[in-house]
Amino acid sequence: MNNLLLRNVRPMAGETCDILIRDGKIAGFGTFEAEPGMAVEDGSNAIVAPGLIDAHTHLDKTTWGMPWHVNNRAAVLRERIDFEREHRLEIGIDPHRQSMRHAIGLAAHGASHIRSHVDIDPTHGLRLVEGVWETREKLDGIIDIEIVAFPQSGVMVMPGTVELLDEALRQGCEVLGGIDPCGIDRDPKGQLDILFALATKHGVPIDIHLHEAGELGAFTMEMMFERIRANGMQGKVAISHAFALGMNDYLRVGKLIDEIAKLDVAILTTGAPSAAVPSIMRLKEAGVRVGGGCDGIRDTWGPWGHPDMLDRAQVIGMKNGLRSDRDLEHVLHIVSQGGADVMELKNYGLKVGNDADFTLLAGQTLAHAVVDIATRPLVVKRGRVVARQGQAVVEMP
């Protein structure tokens, strides 16, 4: 029974009040007396926001907490993929231990939900998914993890992968992933036909990594639009990265965004600093669902990143050139409600009846909280305190 009285907090930086939680649900905002035996916390007038959401990450890849991984390999996408697949276990990237570290880090920084792509390939079969699955079970009540069956090494170029994806979805992965149908698979029709058929068979949504830039990515998007229409998958497809929307052609991008809005395609952005990325403000104007994600953090691909969605909010906000308080509040929206919209979470948000998943934020205003990236004073998941002062209540392995 997760009952809690959280005193003196400012929901979304508004008026100070208490939050009453019964059975892990928000029972009320106001002024309350503690009920006998009820846990009580004092929020010290901190802001309270709904749990942050990392809607695009890779829990199975990080070297977080391991010795520094020296990387002077060539910056070639295919080589990065192959190196990781062939060497990840010998390097010591145990999918369970490392996903624990990554996910606990996110929880300690106020996240309540994760959508994680997890690699599936013939070398490892479903072993990496099983490692993250174990983490998901161990962290039940700490942070919710949704798993995307992700063919990181390709679908058409990696025989045996389709059968593994099929099996992963049968076993309960909630989303089907994909990656660069042209760039990686060299067969957009082949890959997309297979992925849409698999998703339809299992009744799951699709979330495709689309690094393809410019007209190539636009072409792939159009092939996706065709299949969304043909399969009736409006509202069930997400495009991660979507760098093509960052191309320097205002009208062309506008037409793509029109289609994205019409087909209710969701966009996941990481604010990739060295790439051309979608404008989150333009997507907002078009009414597109947009979530944010940390992507890989400190993995064999690259060293950057922290398991902290406010850190990522900074990356996304700076990349988008946002400076005003209003715009900073929208960045916070993207790493919270925006992720919930993409993941179609039920019972999310600071409303009576919803799950008591939230984080306190240091800062005078929401904008201040976003740029300050200060330690989160308290994180609550389903009414239970899961982190204090940046430290999760569970130990990092």
Query: Residue 234 corresponds to which amino acid?
Result: Q
Among 149, 367, 392, 394, binds its own copies (CB under 8 A): 367
Among 23, 31, 40, 73, binds its own copies (CB under 8 A): 73
- Residue 44 exposure: Cα atoms within 13 Å on the Cβ side: 9
Element at 228 (helix H, strand E): helix 214-231
Among 23-31, 236-244, 317-325, 350-358, which window interacts with its own copies (CB under 8 A)?
Answer: 317-325
CB 38, CB 75: distance < 8 Å: no
Q: Does 273 bind its own copies (CB under 8 A)?
A: yes
Q: At its nearest, how many Å lie between its own copies and the CB of residue 176? A: 28
Report residue 131 as tokens.
């490692």
**CA dihedral in degrees (134, 138, 140, 142; nearest 10)?**
-120
- Report the residue number, 193 or 325, with the smaller CB distance to its own copies: 325
∠ CA 255-258-264, nearest 5°, is: 140
Q: At its nearest, how many Å lie between its own copies and the CB of residue 369? A: 9
Q: Does 368 bind its own copies (CB under 8 A)?
A: yes
Reference 77, options 230, 241, 199; nearest CA is 241
Give the x/- contact pattern for its own copies in 283-302, rule: CB under 8 A: ---------------x--xx
Q: Does 375 bind its own copies (CB under 8 A)?
A: no
Size of the site for its own copies (CB under 8 A): 34
- Report the residue number, 75 or 251, with the smaller CB distance to its own copies: 75
Report residue 320 as tokens.
């988008």
Reference 356, options 389, 331, 383, 388; nearest CA is 383
**CA dihedral in degrees (348, 351, 353, 357; nearest 10)?**
50
CA pair distance 120, 115, nearest whole angstrom: 16
Q: Does 160 bind its own copies (CB under 8 A)?
A: no
Q: Does 363 bind its own copies (CB under 8 A)?
A: yes
Q: Does 68 bind its own copies (CB under 8 A)?
A: yes
Q: Does 246 bind its own copies (CB under 8 A)?
A: no
- Report the residue number, 20 or 49, with the smaller CB distance to its own copies: 49
Which residues make up the interface to its own copies (CB under 8 A)? 67-68, 70-73, 75, 248, 273-275, 298, 301-304, 314-315, 317-321, 323-326, 328, 363-365, 367-368, 371
